[in-house]
Homo-oligomer: A and B are copies of this chain.
Amino acid sequence: MPPAAAEPLTPDRILETTEEVLRRFGPTKATVVDVARALGVSHGSVYRHFPSKAALREAVTDRWLAKSVVMLEQITSAPAGSAPSKLEAWLEALFEAKRHKAGDDPELFATYTVLLAENSGTVEQHLTELIDQLARIIAQGVADGSLAAADVPAAARAVFDATGRFHDPQYAAEWFSPTIVAEFEAVTALVIRGLRA
């Protein structure tokens, strides 16, 4: 019995292995059979957790996106910190997370770019969660008088849109230009100044 099959087959282990298989074979060629083989199980065992190849690809995309949501939630719901400084920290953390994903493992990033295009519903849900975090930070600022926004959800959306160059994967190639950090800081400062009370 191959050692991989010794551990119980959890959804998490399947997703971890799916990511590995996608990295190795690329998003066009990777199959459920490849995932099952890498786990040392039958493809039926994988299908018991994920009813289709599409469901598996969607779940792995969701898992990838969820990682940054969890990290940004810690900034959003931190008990200390003013709203403007949280806003800055949040935007910086998002940009850093994206840059790391794109820079540390460009092949996996390219793979996920393909998966994102396939799973627009999952992406939409992810963006809604991020904009909702921004709205909570802005609402905190409005409540304590540090920020001003007549329509908090619209302001959150505007902050997200205005900083798109620093989180939309379409721009990934520009994230390693020598001027990008200065450009990020200029946009962030402009946007936060635009929200100050």
Partner-B contacts on A (CB < 8 A): 151, 154-155, 157-159, 161-165, 170, 182-183, 186-187, 189-195
Instruction: Tell me which residues across on chain B come within 8 A of A195, comparing CB atoms.
Output: 190, 193-194
Complex CA distance for A193 and B191, rounded to whole angstroms: 9
Query: 25 interchain pairs (CB within 8 A)?
Result: A151-B186, A154-B182, A154-B186, A155-B186, A155-B190, A157-B183, A157-B186, A158-B183, A158-B186, A158-B187, A158-B189, A158-B190, A159-B190, A161-B165, A161-B186, A161-B187, A162-B187, A162-B190, A162-B191, A189-B194, A190-B195, A193-B193, A193-B195, A194-B194, A194-B195
Instruction: Tell me which residues across on chain B come within 8 A of A157, comparing CB atoms.
Output: 183, 186
Instruction: Tell me which residues across on chain B come within 8 A of A186, comparing CB atoms.
Output: 151, 154-155, 157-158, 161
Instruction: Tell me which residues across on chain B come within 8 A of A170, comparing CB atoms.
Output: 170
Complex CA distance for A155 and B154, rounded to whole angstroms: 23
Q: How many copies does the complex hold?
A: 2
* 14 additional A-B residue pairs with CB within 8 Å, beyond A158-B189, A161-B165, A162-B163: A154-B186, A155-B190, A157-B183, A158-B186, A158-B187, A158-B190, A159-B190, A161-B186, A162-B187, A170-B170, A190-B191, A193-B193, A193-B195, A194-B195
The 8 tightest CB contacts between A and B, nearest first, are A194-B194, A158-B186, A162-B162, A190-B194, A193-B194, A158-B190, A158-B187, A154-B186
Instruction: Tell me which residues across on chain B come within 8 A of A154, comparing CB atoms.
Output: 182, 186
Residue of B nearest to A192 (CB): B194
Instruction: Tell me which residues across on chain B come within 8 A of A194, comparing CB atoms.
Output: 189-195
Complex CA distance for A151 and B163, rounded to whole angstroms: 19
Instruction: Tell me which residues across on chain B come within 8 A of A159, comparing CB atoms.
Output: 190
Complex CA distance for A159 and B183, rounded to whole angstroms: 10
> Contact partner of A164 among B155, B158, B164, B182, CB < 8 A?
B164
